[in-house]
Structure 1
Amino acid sequence: MPARSAKSSVSFGLDRLSTPIGIALLITDAEGHLRALDWDDYEHRMRELLRLHHGAVELRDRPAPTGMRTALSRYFDGELSQLAGIAWRIAGTPFQQKVWTALAQIPAGTTMSYGALAARIDMPKAIRAVGHANGSNPISVVLPCHRLIGADGSLVKYGGGLERKRWLLRHEGVEI
């Protein structure tokens, strides 16, 4: 979806959900699709990603759909399969969308290197581009960018901080 002009703006709902690793900000559209999920201490980053993908964005306090809140709460309570039931919609370049959609296919409890994801999307030389797209993922946790690790198995960048990445991976049963 192309960025909107400065004269028009898009309005999304903003809700907050307490989790074991902080307050999650849930951004939803009028149809109830998740458009962004980030952490309250990274709100500036989230707003910048929304601006880059949508142009002028207005966030209005509005509860996220009950099913979405329930699924996320259950995920954090240990029901890892709950993320699959969350409706989401992404903007971004076709390449970013390809990477983000591929992230959703990485099963809970597993990790993948950036190179392996690049190969999975039939672009094996695009490792750095995959890393950049991963870093611009607007829907943390649900599009599980935390499941990407370095080729040597090391934890590398995570938009919500490495401690959250470590927690999420351990929560999903990954030995670090």
Structure 2
Amino acid sequence: MRMRNVMTAALTGLALLGLASTASASASADLAWPPKDVTPVHKTKAELQKQADGFSARQERTFPRVFRGATNVEPGKWGGEAEGVFDDMQYMGNWTTFDYQGQNVQTYMQVNAPGQFKESPKQLCERDKCTGQVRDHKGGVTVFTVDDRFGIHAAWNFRPNGEVVWAQSWQADTEKQLAAVASDRAYTFTK
């Protein structure tokens, strides 16, 4: 399992090296969004907290590999508009800080339950500045955006089950790492 995750991140990174700098309409043009037959997820606060704890443990384990050599990985509490989870929550996000290439880096990621995120990849690119797209190994599409005003780089992974997971940072040249995080299927509402 661990080797498969490392290989997935490596293959995603290789694909991104060739595709992230060019916009590709074909990856999102043929992705029907929202997918048909999306199955809603309804979980209790206790179930969501267990899942959030697993997400944090995953960040602590994988960020030093994804962001090669990252140290002092400190995931923040998962929640919505405020820290903490509640019954039937349909998305969770958190801030994570770590040291990377001599700088203190902060990322934000959000995991959206199936059907929660309504915009299609095409609509996202009409709203935000898209810099590229790539299909992932499980039938999803990762869309890259940048907000030049604030220096925000993001990777949005649209999944066939209707989930959208995105990761962002204010650190340039982190697109392939953000894509590896966003496309990691350990971050999901459907377990």
> TM-score, normalized by length of structure 2?
0.31
Higher helix share: 1
TM-score (norm 1): 0.32
Bigger strand fraction: 2
